[in-house]
Amino acid sequence: MESLGGDQAWFDRFLAEHAAVLYYWLLIAFYLVSPKVAYNFMQRVEHHAADTYCEFLESNRELLASIPPPVVALNYYRNQDLYLFDSFQTSSKASGVQRRPDCNTLLDVFIN
C-alpha cells in the first residue's frame, strides 16, 4: 500500500502506528481478564479482515489487474528463495524449471 501512496500523510502513519499499539495493549487487557474473550475478540477481528479483503478484491479486480506490481513484490516473487519453495518440488528438479507464483499485476500480488 505504501507504493500506492498510502504512507504519504504524516497523520495517517501516526494513526496507524498508534492504533496498532492500542490494539496490542487492549488484547493484553482482554487476555488478563478472560483468555476466552481475548481469543473470541481476535477471531472476530480476523474474520472481519478476511471478509473485507475478499470484498476489496471482488470490487476492484479489474483495476488491480491493470496496475503493474510494485518492485518489492517483483523482487520477492522472482528473485528470492521463497522459503525453499523449489527445494521441496521433486518434479521441478528433474526439469530444471523453477516454479514461481505469477507476479504480472497487482492482482497477482494480492492473490498470492
Taking only the tens place, the pLDDT of each residue in 31-46 is 999 999 999 999 999 9
Least confident of 17-21, 29-33, 90-94: 90-94
pLDDT (tens digit, 9 = 90+) per residue, 50-89? 999 999 999 999 999 999 998 888 888 777 666 666 666 5
Q: Using CA atoms, how far apart are residues 111 and 68, in angstroms rounded to an integer?
A: 14
pLDDT at 104 exceeding the cut of 90: no
Name the average pLDDT for the chain: 83
